[in-house]
Structure 1
Amino acid sequence: MRFILPLATLALMLSACQSGTPITPENDSQTSDAAVDQPLSPGARPVRIGENGANFAACGARGIVTIGEDKNVPLRAAPFDEADQVTALKAGQRMFICTRSIDQRWLGVVVPQTRDGTSASADCGVNQRVERPQAYTGPCPSGWIANALVRLTAD
């Protein structure tokens, strides 16, 4: 046996869902001319360490920048081309690979550097284990680099 709502009852139920004042630019207190003119920005997304579990190093892989000798590769604050540049990496620059973006196109990395900007052998605090996954807050620069520009290495 089917139960069919009369049309009047259905119309009354739908009209209850539309209570309130429609939002327009005149009555929306959250809209401002400055916000409308600004382009959207992806913001920053910290690199997460410890995603392989508590029994493994905080960053489970290492890599090297594989772009041509005369070019610099931007290290981004988030896994997007539009994200702010943290620093520029040179060909041959070594890094710790800690995480990947969901679409696998970006790597979250930690880059050991000395004060003059050259590559260093320091571990940046990512060779030891961490209790749980967390944002990297160590002394070395961290950010996101396009996966296609990095080659995995054994050392």
Structure 2
Amino acid sequence: MKHRLPTPFAVLLIASLAACSQPAPPADNAPAVTGEPLAARAVMIGTEGASLPACASTSQVKTGGTDVYWAPGETRAVKAKIAGGAKVSVCEATDDDAWFGVVFATPGIDPDLCGVGRPVQNAREYQGPCRWGWIKGGTVQLGG
């Protein structure tokens, strides 16, 4: 007696075996997407203690400007763009200084209104009224 596989089952088996033999694409080959980010992490202020300003330094964005992202390492969705020469408050950095968490005023708004030049009692997420986000290291002149 000869056994034959049903045609739909045979097709499914062959397709699944073919899929297993294909290598996965490299992670850095992911296409850029727009819209909501895959990850978000608010910028922390007051991480240097209650006796120092909420954000450690004011820096100037280098010529050419920079993109602002939702989280360190998350480059799929741009949150905002900051023009070259604009001032930002650097509030925190990743351990390798590859990313800076910044607070910045929108054009026409006094950066002093951001409230990060004075101490805060406890470290916390920045809640406004200015904008916040993450920029790549090397896109600002620190202390500039």
Instruction: Determine the structure 2 residue equivalent to 1:120.
Output: 110
Instruction: Determine the structure 2 residue equivalent to 1:87.
Output: 80
1:131 aligned to 2:121? yes
Instruction: Determine the structure 2 residue equivalent to 1:56.
Output: 52
Q: CA deviation at 1:81?
A: 4.5
Superposed counterparts of 1:27-106, under 5 Å:
42-68=38-64, 72-106=65-99
Given the superposition, is the C-alpha separation of residues 58 and 106 from structure 1 closer, same or farther in structure 2, using an over 3 Å criterion?
same
1:152 aligned to 2:142? yes
Q: CA deviation at 1:67?
A: 2.9
Given the superposition, is the C-alpha separation of residues 56 and 121 from structure 1 closer, same or farther in structure 2, using an over 3 Å criterion?
same
Q: Distance in 2 between matches of 1:47 and 1:95?
A: 13
Q: Distance in 2 between matches of 1:121 and 1:109?
A: 12
What TM-score, normalized by structure 1, do the two folds share? 0.63
One-letter amino acid of the structure 1 residue matched with residue 77 of structure 2: D
1:29-83 deviation digits (Å, cap 9, x = unpaired):
xxxxxxxxxx9x6410100000110111100111011133xxx421111011524
Q: Distance in 2 between matches of 1:124 and 1:87?
A: 17
Instruction: Determine the structure 2 residue equivalent to 1:143.
Output: 133
Q: CA deviation at 1:86?
A: 1.5
Q: CA deviation at 1:118?
A: 4.5
Q: CA deviation at 1:138?
A: 1.3
* Secondary structure of the structure 2 residue equivalent to 1:137: coil
Please tell me the root mean square deviation across aligned C-alpha atoms, in Å: 2.2
Work out the number of aligned pairs and report it: 110
One-letter amino acid of the structure 2 residue matched with residue 82 of structure 1: T
Q: Which runs of 5+ in 1 are unaligned?
A: 1-38
One-letter amino acid of the structure 1 residue matched with residue 42 of structure 2: P
Q: CA deviation at 1:102?
A: 2.4
